[in-house]
């Protein structure tokens, strides 16, 4: 039986899914309740991108063998991917009770603990990793992020105000009663939210075909009712550089703007914050101001300094406000 199950596991790893399925069906007839059978079912389903079936199979494997390390890890991983952090933490925690504990499970558990504000637990996981491998890069890097979390001070009132501003900025235009002409024009200009309007000027709106004074006044009244105005979040209106100045850009630096922000050595907290802001490339990051970053929920001075330092190493800076 063991040889057969090992062969099936290898077939799944090699992508021979049809062969693995046939062999698994033949084996199941002899040992329907074996935990390894359910683990292989889950592995096969995961290879076929059937997440729900894979998660169910891993859970059944755990029911039959509560300390099954591979099933616990895969169930934790899938729970995390589905946003079920509570179950993910529990599966990873049980997976790390062995000696030695799996390093990947400890790292993933530490990240989940940090995101949940359980800094002491996250620190314990990372120190466990470093105990066995003092030079483990990811563990050392994440531990710095956790240690910074201990000293981070939040301005609760400021945080609530930033959350309120963010909620307003993200409100879709479709939530408001506008004329059909105004809605159509805004949609064609790819203006989807209040934030998009605040980054647009009157001149930009009036320059669009079929957009007139009536629509402009309607939108200004809408924003005015919320204490807002057109263009208040627009980027600086400095004159664009003359075409002749373009060759002066340093060829070695410019291409880096298209690189993903994941190339920067940022803490988990900083990366999560940038994801919430929709920043995916270094170029996206350099057009943001310090104020825009500080307005992100749970984003503090430590993360801001970290991002500025990483950008400086590549010859970039955040955009300066007008």
Q: Do residues 83 and 24 share a domain?
A: yes
Q: How far apart are CA 307 and CA 261, in angstroms?
A: 10
Q: Assess whether 36 and 106 both reside in one domain.
A: yes
Neighbours of 259 (CB within 10 A): 13
Same structural domain for residues 6 and 145?
yes
Whether 322 has a pLDDT exceeding 80, the answer reads no
Q: Pick from 209, 224, 239: which residue ends a domain?
A: 224
Question: How many helices (H) and strands (E) are present in the chain, helices listed first?
Answer: 18, 0
Q: Say which residue, 242 or 26, is predicted with more confidence.
A: 26
The answer to whether the CB of 277 falls within 8 A of the CB of 286 is: no
| Stronger pLDDT, 225 or 113, i.e. the higher one | 113
- Whether 126 and 32 map to the same domain: the answer is yes
CATH classification of the domain holding 304: 1.10.150.20
Is pLDDT above 60 for 50?
A: yes
On the CB side of 73, CA atoms within 13 Å amount to 15
Is residue 161 a part of any domain in this protein? Answer: no
> Concatenated DSSP letters for 85-110?
HHHHHHHHHHHTTSSSPPHHHHHHHH
Question: The domain containing residue 108 runs over which residues?
Answer: 2-151
Per-residue pLDDT of 29-40, as tens digits, reads 655 568 899 999
Q: Does residue 158 form part of some domain?
A: no
Q: Quick check: 312 pLDDT over 80?
A: yes
Residue ending a domain, among 151, 179, 207, is: 151
pLDDT value of position 163: 65
What was the pLDDT predicted at 247? 42
Q: Are residues 95 and 179 in the same domain?
A: no
**Does residue 178 sit within a domain?**
yes
Q: CA torsion sign, 43 to 142 to 318 to 187?
A: positive
Do residue 29 and residue 80 come from a single domain? yes
140 falls within a domain: yes
Is there a domain that residue 318 lies in?
no
| pLDDT mean over 308-314 | 86
CB under 8 Å to 150, separation ≥6 — which residues? 119
pLDDT higher than threshold 50 for residue 3: no
Same-domain check for residues 66 and 200: no
Q: Which CATH number characterizes residue 9's domain?
A: 1.25.40.10
230 assigned to some structural domain: no
* 80 and 214 within one domain: no
Confidence of residue 249 (pLDDT cuts 50, 70, 90): very low
Task: Give a yes or no: residue 246 inside a domain.
Answer: no
Q: For residue 15, is it left (φ>0), alpha (ψ between -120 and 50) or beta? A: left
Residues 17 and 129 in one domain: yes
Q: Do residue 11 and residue 145 come from a single domain? A: yes
How far, in Å, CA of 269 to CA of 45, rounded? 32
Do 114 and 30 lie in a common domain?
A: yes
Q: Are residues 120 and 86 in the same domain?
A: yes
Total tally of structural domains belonging to the chain: 3
Question: Considering Cα of 98, then 102, then 104, then 106, what sign does the dihedral take?
Answer: positive
* pLDDT one-digit tens code per residue, 169-227: 788 888 777 888 888 888 878 888 888 888 888 888 887 777 888 888 888 888 888 77
Residue 239 has pLDDT above 60, yes or no: no
Domain boundary among 89, 122, 151: 151
């Amino acid at each position: 039986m063991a040889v057969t199950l090992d062969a099936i596991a290898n077939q799944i790893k090699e992508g021979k899914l049809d062969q693995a399925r046939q062999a698994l069906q033949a084996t199941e007839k002899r040992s329907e309740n074996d935990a390894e059978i359910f683990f292989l079912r889950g592995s096969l389903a995961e290879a076929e991108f059937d997440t729900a079936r894979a998660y169910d199979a891993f859970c059944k494997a755990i029911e039959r063998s509560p300390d099954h390390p591979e099933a616990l890890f895969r169930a934790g991983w899938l729970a995390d991917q589905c946003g079920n952090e509570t179950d993910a933490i529990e599966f990873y925690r049980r997976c790390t009770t062995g000696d030695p504990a799996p390093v990947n499970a400890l790292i993933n558990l530490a990240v989940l603990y940090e995101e949940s504000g359980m800094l002491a637990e996250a620190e314990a996981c990372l120190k466990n990793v470093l105990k066995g491998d003092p030079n483990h890069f990811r563990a050392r890097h994440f531990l710095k992020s956790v240690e910074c979390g201990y000293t981070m001070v939040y301005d609760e009132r400021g945080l609530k105000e930033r959350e309120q501003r963010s909620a307003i900025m993200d409100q879709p235009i479709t939530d408001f009663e506008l004329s059909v002409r105004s809605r159509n024009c805004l949609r064609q200009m790819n203006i989807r939210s209040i934030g998009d309007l605040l980054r647009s000027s009157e001149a930009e709106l009036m320059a669009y075909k079929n957009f007139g004074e009536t629509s402009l006044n309607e939108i200004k009244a809408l924003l005015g009712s919320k204490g807002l105005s057109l263009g208040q979040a627009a980027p600086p209106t400095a004159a664009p550089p003359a075409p002749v100045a373009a060759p002066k850009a340093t060829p070695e630096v410019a291409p880096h703007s298209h690189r993903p922000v994941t190339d920067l050595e940022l803490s988990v907290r900083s990366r999560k914050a940038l994801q919430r802001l929709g920043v995916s490339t270094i170029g996206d990051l350099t057009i943001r101001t310090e104020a825009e970053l500080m307005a992100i929920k749970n984003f503090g001075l430590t993360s801001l300094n970290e991002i500025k330092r990483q950008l400086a190493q590549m010859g970039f800076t955040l955009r300066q406000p007008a």
